[in-house]
Amino acid sequence: MCGIVGYIGGDQAAPLLLKGLEKLEYRGYDSAGVAVYNGKQLEIAKAKGRLKVLSDMLEEGKTLKGTIGIGHTRWATHGAPSDINSHPQVSDSGKFAVVHNGIIENYLTLKNFLTGKGIQFVSETDTEVVAQLLEYYYHKYQCDIFEAIARVIHKVEGSYALGIICEDCPDELYAVRKDSPLIVGLGEGENFIASDVTAILAHTREIYRLNDDEIVRLTRGGVTVYNTDRDVVEKQAVHIDWDISAAEKGGYEHFMFKEIMEQPKAIRDTISPRIRNGKVVLDDITLTREQLESFRRIVIVACGSAYHVGVVAKYALEKMTRIPVEVDVASEFRYREPLVDEKVLVLVISQSGETADTLAALREAKRLGARTLSIVNVVGSSIANESDDVLYTWAGPEIAVATTKAYSTQLAVVYLLALYMGNLLGTISQETYAAGIQDLEKLPDQVSEILSNREHIQYFASKNFNAKDIFFIGRNIDYALSLEGSLKLKEISYIHSEAYAAGELKHGTISLVEDGTLVVALASYLPLFDKTMSNVKEVKARGAYVLGLTVEGKTAIEKETDFVFYLPQTNSMMQPSLMVIPLQLFAYYVAAMKGCDIDKPRNLAKSVTVE
Ligand code: G6P
């Protein structure tokens, strides 16, 4: 989960690389570095800390001259963040410079082998092995760079996206990937590599997406993609039509706030093209009614907030399809010999489409014969490419580490899918189907309305931002949502919080509730409203201070809680789309009031491409 960018062209590389890295900082931000060929040799600049440290050191790149280079922003896996461990890593003689995203799993064996050959290592990174091995093969076989790369990738195990330059070929930039994202940007007299399009969107919108073990050679005049046998691979350029402003802060103080505010549009963009003449139309998927009828189970796999969408989806899909649904975190699913086969639909949810565990879970499901369907935001990403069917969320680029609009659009796709499948299977009535579609279409305006009342939540946050522990409780779909409310808060404000099924709290955790403990009670699921209020009474009796969230008109909540936020009412299945908004705002305002680094919380990265 590091960010890579590379450039070859007519402009100065360093300023351009630093600008590109700024866009990738969400992928990792504990150190950064660049390597540029300065006309005589490779010149390397690296610094521990945020990209700004490096940028200040290089006067925004002005002090490093040269028109070919590679850059990297790091999220440490092997070796602590330090100047030495930052990338680019170079070979013994300084001839090769390498930036890497991923993990070389057999790096110790390779390091021992190379050390035995008298090669000196300076860093603790797995990446240095790649730089050293490149030079070792280059000399041993007296080969060209291409062959050295091909030999290296035959030798290394694990995942990698690599950007490589060599002093001996200063007019060539090389790249290769396996299980880690990397794209090639196609320009006029200049070309690029990057972990993510946002890094190069200012220069080009035409890209190649690379497949595993394709080796790319970039010159100023062109890009050639090869397989490891050096056959040329014909690639189709993909045009990226993301609005560049979508990847800019546009006057907002934080990306997270901007992305919270973009949710009405993102949800509308995701839903509108898929509702036609009062019907859910999912042109993008090929699942037939017969196939749907053949599924005995649906298994949802995902990580982080996408997993939380999966928990909501369990309630929604079971209700609409009457097919049993299981939800699993991808890192567990992949290693527990899951019981899936061709009678199981595996639904994979991922914003980036590159999360290592989720991708591995998808592959495991396919290996076992399951039918796979994914909900993904990044077009052409690995998960999207490898799934039998894909439903895209049209959230646009999401930059803040804490997801908001991707979560909301994933939920929107889940509702579309639930209604679509319920209708196809005949497990819901025509009335339920029609009403569900109408409710879905209202969601963007309802989200806007909640956002316009955000001062209420801001006020509550101003009174509670010093809380030490916060518990989120709810039942049914409110419980599913409490998981996300709790995660959002802890990841950006660093306040300890836990989410509990309201009825479960008394089985142990209520012992932590004492005078003044903040409890957020989600009570939008009206069939269980009274039960949730009973649980609120239990925490109140132990001194808790309670924020209640429910739907307009449910004023009974006022006598049980200390502060109330009302939300417009919708179909109970869709209520999480509305309830999540105040929870996102609460987390955001609390973190802002505590002075936290909201878009780049400590220890986290947005795209987790290592397991
Ligand atoms: C990281 C992010 C989360 C995200 C999770 C899964 O932990 O910080 O916001 O939910 O990865 O990412 P994905 O791209 O697969 O949705």
8 CA distance to ligand 1 middle (Å): 31
Mean pLDDT over each residue of the chain, to the nearest integer: 93
Average pLDDT over residues 379-408: 92
561: its two tokens: 């809680």
Decide: 86 in ligand 1 pocket, CB within 6 A.
Answer: no
Residue 245: the pLDDT is: 65
Residue 241: the pLDDT is: 78
Q: What are the Cα distances from residue 165, in Å, to 94, 102, 129?
A: 11, 18, 15
Per the CB < 8 A criterion, the answer to whether 77 and 31 are in contact is: no
Chain CA centroid to CA 257, Å: 17
Decide: 377 in ligand 1 pocket, CB within 6 A.
Answer: no
For the chain, what is the radius of gyration of the CA atoms? 25
| Ligand 1 atom showing the smallest separation from residue 605 Cα | 8
pLDDT over 70 (residue 1) = no
Q: Which helix (H) or strand (E) holds 137?
A: helix 127-140
Residues 6+ apart with CB under 8 A from 220: 8, 9, 10, 171, 189, 190, 191
Residue 378: the pLDDT is: 86
Decide: 303 in ligand 1 pocket, CB within 6 A.
Answer: yes
pLDDT over 80 (residue 141) = yes
Digit-coded pLDDT (tens) for 29-75: 789 999 999 999 999 999 999 899 999 999 999 999 999 999 999 88
Per the CB < 8 A criterion, the answer to whether 340 and 298 are in contact is: no
Residue 347 φ then ψ, to 5°: -105, 120
355 CA distance to ligand 1 middle (Å): 7
Decide: 535 in ligand 1 pocket, CB within 6 A.
Answer: no
* Range in 96-100, 103-107, 421-425 the model is least confident about: 103-107
305 CA distance to ligand 1 middle (Å): 6
Per the CB < 8 A criterion, the answer to whether 36 and 65 are in contact is: yes
374: its two tokens: 């994914």
Strands (DSSP E) contained in 254-343 are: 275-276, 279-280, 297-302, 325-329
Q: Which position has the higher pLDDT, 103 or 47?
A: 47
Residue 282 φ then ψ, to 5°: -110, 75
569 CA distance to ligand 1 middle (Å): 29
Q: Output helix, strand, coil percentages for the chain, rounded to the nearest 5.
A: 40, 25, 35
pLDDT over 70 (residue 364) = yes
Amino acid identity of residue 156, one-letter, is V
Chain CA centroid to CA 569, Å: 30
Decide: 501 in ligand 1 pocket, CB within 6 A.
Answer: no
Digit-coded pLDDT (tens) for 237-278: 998 877 666 667 767 889 999 999 999 999 999 999 999 999
Per the CB < 8 A criterion, the answer to whether 222 and 235 are in contact is: no
Tell me which residue has its CA closest to atom 8 in ligand 1.
606
Decide: 223 in ligand 1 pocket, CB within 6 A.
Answer: no
Distance CA 5, CA 19 (A): 10
574 CA distance to ligand 1 middle (Å): 22
Decide: 381 in ligand 1 pocket, CB within 6 A.
Answer: no
Distance CA 185, CA 163 (A): 13
| Ligand 1 atom showing the smallest separation from residue 355 Cα | 15
Please tell me whether the overall predicted TM-score, pTM, comes out greater than 0.85 for this model. no
Decide: 393 in ligand 1 pocket, CB within 6 A.
Answer: no
pLDDT over 90 (residue 604) = no
Residue 164 φ then ψ, to 5°: -135, 130
Per the CB < 8 A criterion, the answer to whether 47 and 83 are in contact is: yes
Q: Which position has the higher pLDDT, 132 or 212?
A: 132
Residue from 378, 390, 606 whose mutation best tests the ligand 1 pocket (most atoms within 8 A of CB): 606
* Count of beta carbons in the 10 Å neighbourhood of residue 168: 10
Digit-coded pLDDT (tens) for 309-350: 999 999 999 999 999 999 999 999 988 889 999 999 999 999
Annotated catalytic sites, by residue?
Answer: 2, 606
308 CA distance to ligand 1 middle (Å): 10
Per the CB < 8 A criterion, the answer to whether 199 and 20 are in contact is: yes
Residue 214: the pLDDT is: 96
| Ligand 1 atom showing the smallest separation from residue 491 Cα | 8
Beta strands 31-37; 42-48: pairing state: antiparallel
Question: Tokens 């042109």 appear where?
Answer: 283
Classify each residue of 179-217 as buried b or exposed e, where b means 16 or more C-beta atoms within 10 Å of its C-beta.
Answer: bbbbbbbbbeebbbbbbbbbbbbebbbebbbbeebbbbb
Residue from 399, 608, 609 whose mutation best tests the ligand 1 pocket (most atoms within 8 A of CB): 608
Residue 137 φ then ψ, to 5°: -65, -40
Q: Which DSSP string corresponds to 205-217?
A: SEEEEPPTT-EEE
Decide: 423 in ligand 1 pocket, CB within 6 A.
Answer: no
Decide: 355 in ligand 1 pocket, CB within 6 A.
Answer: yes
Residues 6+ apart with CB under 8 A from 77: 103, 126, 610
349 CA distance to ligand 1 middle (Å): 10
